[in-house]
């Protein structure tokens, strides 16, 4: 069982600080995801754990042992890459056997272990194929088998599904999660795809600009974002300027609203409402806010109906509803009302990473 601890990791490329003091504590056996936009430092952090480069400062502990002095092949970590990184001139079997041959494992053992791991990733029948005879999804299964066959203490994956098409991506992500749970292996996974992160992880770490913004369960990250960046990056959100009127009163979308205590008197505040929290042409279930608007665009995606509603003087808001007959019949230009319960409005201090106040 392997717990991973990172303390105060810094890494710069020239004058550019890519990691600015990362502290993480990753539970043994958990599926832990680094989520953030391109350039936020995810790959830099993963490569430091793998030992492909050295951090400038800070310590990495695997099961309580510092691995800073160990080269990559001594760290007992397996790595899966976005571009599969399979050797084109080697068969599936030889690709997977490669690490064991290097470790000078005896041939009969290699055969047993490679066949077992190929069965595990559902490639048991394809051991003799060459990489060019495999689909992208199968090539990535080879990548996974190659990382796992050395029995790593920790599995690292850097955007392993990004080169696959949508349907395959979802199938393989289920398989990866099932396999990880079966093996109980501590896994650190990198993605810029928030839906993928929510669906696959025990814990999600949201990063931005070389800094950890929040660590929590997928539900906590979604429901209780710690700051405005997380609220906007994970899922979607309507951010709305708030006009305070002293005490507990304010104006939101031109309507009066009562503020939670933690927001009262705060100078610059932005409110946020998730698209699915609007009730369209329906009163809110409890006290809250109701605004009239004009439907500008409707997009039916099968599972849901995405509505873009203009509120005069306040721009266009997004609402998501279940697509029943009445909703689907709505036409651009129709007047609609949007209502939201007060408890479904969140409030953030202004600025890119303004903290959540309520």
Q: Per CB under 6 A, which region of 33-41, 55-63, 135-143, 335-343 contacts ligand ADP? A: 33-41
Could you say whether residue 197 binds ligand ADP (CB under 6 A)? no
In whole angstroms, give the CA distance from residue 197 to residue 34: 8
- Nearest distance from C-beta of residue 229 to ligand ADP, angstroms: 14
Of the candidate residues 2, 30, 44, 213, the single one contacting ligand ADP (CB under 6 A): 44
CA dist 70 to 10, 52, 76, 282, Å? 18, 11, 10, 62
Please name the residue that has the structure tokens 């979604």: 222
Backbone torsions φ then ψ of 325, nearest 5 degrees? -55, -45
Q: Is 191 in the site for ligand ADP (CB under 6 A)?
A: no
| Sites for Mg ion among residues 38-67 (CB under 5 A) | 43
Q: Which does 75 bind (CB under 5 to 8 A by kind): ligand ADP, Mg ion, none?
A: none
Is 42 a residue that touches ligand ADP (CB under 6 A)? yes
Q: Which CA distances in Å does 228 have to 131, 197, 232, 348?
A: 44, 18, 6, 6
- Residue 173 CA, chain-centre distance (Å), reads 13
Q: Which is nearer to ligand ADP, 105 or 155 (CB)?
A: 155
Nearest distance, CB of residue 44 and Mg ion, angstroms:
8
| Binding span for ligand ADP by CB under 6 A among 37-45, 88-96, 126-134, 222-230 | 37-45
Q: How far is the CB of 47 from ligand ADP (least distance, A)?
A: 8
Paired with 227 in beta bridges are 355
Q: How many CB atoms lie within 10 A of CB 71?
A: 9
| Residue 121 or 157 with smaller CB distance to ligand ADP | 157
Output 211 or 339, the one with its CB closest to Mg ion.
211
Q: Which of 41, 160, 225, 288 is the binder for ligand ADP (CB under 6 A)?
A: 41
Angle separating helix axes 136-148 and 107-120, nearest 10 degrees: 130
Minimum CB separation from ligand ADP for residue 223, in Å? 25
Site for Mg ion, residues 4 to 43, rule: CB under 5 A? 43
Stretch that binds ligand ADP, among 36-44, 144-152, 267-275, 323-331 (CB under 6 A): 36-44
Kindly state whether residue 346 participates in binding ligand ADP, applying the rule CB under 6 A. no
Query: Can you tell me which of 15, 38, 301, 331 binds ligand ADP, judged by CB under 6 A?
Result: 38
Q: Both tokens of residue 348? A: 């953030």
CA torsion angle 96 97 98 103 (round to 10): 130
By CB under 6 A, residue 43 contacts ligand ADP: yes
Is the dihedral angle over the CA atoms 85, 91, 92, 95 positive or is it negative? negative
CA pair distance 256, 244, nearest whole angstrom: 10
Query: What's the rounded Cα separation, in Å, for the pair 285 and 123?
Result: 52
In the complex, minimum distance from the CB of residue 75 to ligand ADP, in angstroms, rounded to a whole number: 19
In whole angstroms, how close is the CB of 42 to Mg ion at the nearest point?
5
CA distance 162 to 40: 17
Q: Which residues pair with 300 in a beta bridge?
A: 305
Please, which residue, 205 or 307, has the CB nearer to ligand ADP? 205
What Rg value do the Cα atoms of the chain yield, rounded? 25
Site string for ligand ADP, 49-68 (x = CB under 6 A): --------------------
Angle (nearest 5°) at CA 309 between 237 and 356: 20
Q: List interacting residues with ligand ADP (CB under 6 A).
A: 13, 16, 18, 36, 38-44
């Amino acid at each position: 069982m392997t717990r991973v601890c990172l303390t105060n990791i810094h890494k710069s490329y020239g004058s550019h600080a890519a990691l600015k003091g990362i502290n993480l504590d990753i539970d043994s056996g958990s599926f832990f995801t680094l989520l953030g936009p391109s350039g936020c430092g995810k790959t830099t952090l993963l490569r430091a754990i793998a030992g492909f480069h050295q951090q400038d400062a800070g310590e990495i502990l695997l099961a309580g042992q510092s691995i800073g002095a160990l080269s990559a092949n001594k760290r007992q970590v397996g790595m899966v890459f976005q571009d599969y990184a399979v050797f084109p001139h080697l068969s599936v079997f030889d690709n997977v056997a490669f690490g064991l041959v290097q470790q000078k494992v005896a041939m009969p053992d290699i055969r047993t272990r490679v066949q077992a791991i190929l069965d595990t990733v559902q490639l048991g029948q394809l051991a003799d194929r060459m990489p060019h005879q495999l689909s992208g999804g199968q090539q990535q299964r080879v990548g996974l088998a190659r990382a796992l066959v050395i029995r790593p203490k920790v599995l690292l994956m850097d955007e392993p599904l990004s080169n696959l098409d949508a349907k395959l991506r979802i199938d393989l992500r289920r398989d990866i999660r099932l396999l990880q749970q079966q093996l109980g292996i501590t896994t650190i996974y990198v993605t810029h795809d928030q839906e993928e992160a929510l669906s696959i992880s025990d814990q999600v770490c949201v990063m931005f600009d070389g800094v950890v913004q929040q660590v929590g369960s997928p539900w906590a990250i979604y429901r209780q974002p710690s700051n405005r960046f997380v609220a906007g990056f994970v899922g979607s959100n309507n951010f709305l300027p708030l006009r305070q009127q002293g005490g507990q009163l304010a104006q939101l979308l031109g309507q009066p609203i009562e503020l939670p205590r933690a927001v009262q008197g705060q100078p610059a505040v932005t409110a946020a409402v998730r698209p699915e929290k609007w009730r369209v042409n329906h009163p809110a279930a409890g006290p809250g806010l109701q605004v009239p608007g004009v439907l500008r665009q409707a997009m039916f995606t099968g599972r849901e109906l995405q509505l873009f509603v203009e509120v005069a003087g306040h721009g266009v808001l997004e609402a998501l509803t279940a697509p029943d007959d009445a909703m689907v019949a709505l036409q651009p230009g129709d007047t609609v009302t949007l209502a939201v319960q007060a408890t479904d409005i969140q409030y953030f201090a202004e600025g890119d990473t303004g903290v959540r106040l309520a």
